[in-house]
Structure 1
Amino acid sequence: MIQIFSDPSAVAEYVSEALIAKIRSKPEAVLGLATGGTMEPIYARFIDQARQSGLDVSRLTSFNLDEYVGLSADHPKSYSVYMREHLFRHLAFDASRLHLLNGLARDSVAHCQAYAAKLQGYGGIDLQLLGVGGNGHIGFNEPGTAFDRPCHVVKLAEQTRIDNRRFFAAGAVVPESAMTLGLVEIMAAREILLVATGESKAEIVAEWYRRDVTEEIPFTILKRHPQTTMILDEAAASLLPDEVSRQCVV
């Protein structure tokens, strides 16, 4: 299902309300969380709404999608710091229930296996938030990633490193590899919300619509998921056929 909203603010409102509804219906829910610029207004709106409504988040469990290899949990560009700054420190989460990959793990392959096992031990993800990269990656599952691959270490595509350079200081080196939940864990989630906003995502969203399911565009696999909603703003949806846009505008 595709839903199209006027702008990122309207998208954030919708996704925040969806998160709150999930938490109210299942206070012990397991959430799969994403990072990046797309998620920032969503988390900001969620924090505001959670505070206003007195939402109890203390029984939630979360698993983050990915982390750069080589960055410590205190590195300013790590996703651990991102999550603390944009979400965790603002609400009364139980820190013991917040799971993040360790970018400094001595054996990153074994660490990925243990992370996947821990997630499985919690029964998998109830609601997974996803963004999408300009090349169609979800998490850091780059084009060509096998659909049956679980949590793993990945060498980042050059386009991904170029796209993410804006988050790093001028002259800083963007890490070459990362750890990520695989498409196995993502597709096992009971519900998925994929969010894409901005003109820069319009071409890959249109490719998703035009193409069959293919490992060349990893997020096309979501066409096989029975409970996926693609949430777009008008800019990200601008290259979809007019009849699709007319049917999906909220």
Structure 2
Amino acid sequence: MNLLKASDYKDLSRKAANVISAQVILKPDCVLGLATGSTPIGTYKQLVEWYEKGDIDFSEVKTVNLDEYCGLSPDNDQSYRYFMNQNLFSQVNIKLENTNVPNGLAADYEEECSRYDKLIAELGGIDLQLLGIGRNGHIGFNEPDVSFEKTTHIVNLDESTIEANARFFQTIDEVPKKALTMGIKSIMQAKKVLLIANGPDKKEIIEKALHGPVTPDVPASILQFHPDLTVVYCFD
């Protein structure tokens, strides 16, 4: 486990972007697992800056996102496909056909989960998976549970997750209650994992996740077993 303490959010974003850009430079056709939420925005912004300077090339990169809300179309401004298009994909030279996000409008969610697992396998697996962490320890939308969910699945969002995401919607009632998410097995099979955590409200859960018992009650705790985990954090 490689722990990197950042001096502030900008430093966190730069350090995280360094890890991702190094992966792309070392393997131009790599598969990046990407995350959404407020924490990665600065990381994506830094990557866009470096792309504009000619320091990084995304033309051969393929991506798979962790999750998507059930019931939101790709053009809904709260969908994760929309988030990725706005914050990264539309600003660099990645081919849109090489970017993948679970389909929140799939007619059959179970079938969509199977399709997504097969897609990841066909891509050869994930070279680097970027993760944020929820205040309850969720990674992706793998919420606290009695067991670790292995593969892509449908999840009922925890009340604390719904409340945390409510700031992005006009009312809490508009926040989707279900999502499609990669499972723990998909995340743990990534060759490298990059976990980023920002703000004082993440300090306690990071301590639990990285130094407490490994338990599905704290989904991120499973990362203690990953052979190549980098954590970039700032609690100030």
TM-score, length of structure 1 as denominator length: 0.91
RMSD: 1.2
Give the corresponding residue for 2:198: 197
Q: Which residue of 1 aligns with 2:226?
A: 225
Aligned CA distance change for structure 1 residues 234 and 200 (closer, same or farther; 3 Å): closer
C-alpha contact (below 8 Å) 1:20/1:50 kept by paired residues: no
Letter in 2 for 1:179: L
Shift of 1:16: 1.1
Match of 2:105 in 1: 104
The answer on 1:85 being equivalent to 2:100 is no
Using a 3 Å threshold, how does the CA distance of structure 1 residues 145 and 175 change in structure 2: closer, same or farther?
A: farther
| Equivalent position of 2:9 in the other structure | 8
Q: Indicate if the aligned counterparts of 1:109 and 1:152 stay in contact, CA closer than 8 A.
A: yes
CA contact (8 A) 2:143 2:157 kept: yes
What letter matches 2:85 in structure 1?
R
Counterpart for residue 138 of structure 2: 137
Amino acid aligned to 1:2: L
- Asked if residue 178 in structure 1 is aligned to residue 179 in structure 2, the reply is yes
**Corresponding letter in the other structure for 2:135:** G
Deviation string 1:30-84 (CA, Å, 9 cap, x unpaired) is 0000000001111001100121134221100000000000001111100010001
Q: 1:1-250 alignment to 2 at 5 Å? A: 1-144=2-145, 146-147=147-148, 149-170=150-171, 172-235=173-236
User: Given that residues 16 and 42 in structure 1 are in contact (C-alpha distance below 8 angstroms), is that contact kept between their aligned partners in structure 2?
Assistant: yes
The runs of 5 or more residues in structure 2 that have no matched partner are none
SS of residue matched to 2:32: strand
- Which secondary structure state, in structure 2, belongs to the residue aligned with residue 38 of structure 1? coil
Counterpart amino acid of 2:148?
F
Q: In structure 2, what is the Cα distance between the partners aligned to 1:118 and 1:108?
A: 15
Q: Quote the offset at 1:148 in angstroms.
A: 5.0
- In 2, Cα distance between the equivalents of 1:131 and 1:205? 11
Contact 2:192 2:228 in 1 (8 A): yes
Aligned with 1:207: secondary structure? helix
SS of the equivalent of 1:16 reads: helix
Give CA-to-partner distance per residue, 1:100-150, whole Å, 9 cap, x none: 111100001110110110110111000000000000000000001633520
Deviation, structure 1 residue 170 = 3.5
Q: Secondary structure in 2 aligned to 1:45?
A: helix
Name the CA shift for 1:148/1:169 in 2 (closer, same or farther; >3 Å). closer
Deviation at 1:206, TM superposition (A): 2.0
Moved more, 12-21 or 112-121: 12-21
CA distance in 2, matches of 1:103, 1:148: 19
Can you give the 5+ residue segments of structure 1 that lack an aligned partner in the other structure? Answer: 236-250
- Count of aligned residue pairs for this structure pair: 235
What is the percentage of aligned positions where both structures have the same residue? 38
Q: Take 2:99 and 2:146, find their aligned partners in 1: how far apart are those partners?
A: 27
- Kindly indicate whether the alpha-carbon contact (under 8 Å) linking 2:166 and 2:172 is maintained by their aligned counterparts in 1: no
Could you tell me how far apart the structure 2 residues matched to 1:205 and 1:125 are?
A: 23
After superposition, the Cα gap between the structure-2 partners of 1:135 and 1:98, relative to the gap in structure 1 and judged at 3 Å, is same
